[in-house]
Amino acid sequence: MSLRDVLRILVVDDMSTSRGILLQALDTLGISNVAYADNGRTGMSQARQTAPHLVLSDLYMPELNGLQLLQHLRADPATAKIGFILVSGRGDEKVLAAGRSLGMNNFLTKPFTPPQLQSCIESVVGRL
């Protein structure tokens, strides 16, 4: 059984179109064990319940934004070790520095291609 068969991913994005693009790209990569949430607060709750291996989170969302979600994940012993990739169209250095200081594992700039997503995921969890 390969990593892509067992990898559990949680996609957190408030925009249904962006969420759909991520879900479709993951499906293209053969990753089918995927759940999603439409805001950071719901994403935190789902992460506690389902213990994904990896969270792909948008930066700008209501309730908790991506950096706040990351901060909450890292502060909770039950979710502290979950891999975290921040996904955003704005990758300014201030955001990247804040993400790194909070324990972000990687950053993916929108728009992206499935191979770029795969490379980003593999840098966190290993070869798919």
| pLDDT for 116 | 97
- Contact assessment for residue 126 and residue 3, using Cβ atoms and an 8 Å cutoff: yes
Class of domain 3-125 as given by CATH = alpha beta
**pLDDT digits over 73-85, tens only?**
999 999 999 999 9
Give phi and psi for 51, each to the nearest 5: 45, 65
Q: Across-strand partners of 36?
A: 11
Tens of pLDDT, residues 26-71: 999 999 999 999 999 999 999 999 999 999 999 999 889 999 999 9
What is the reported pTM?
0.96
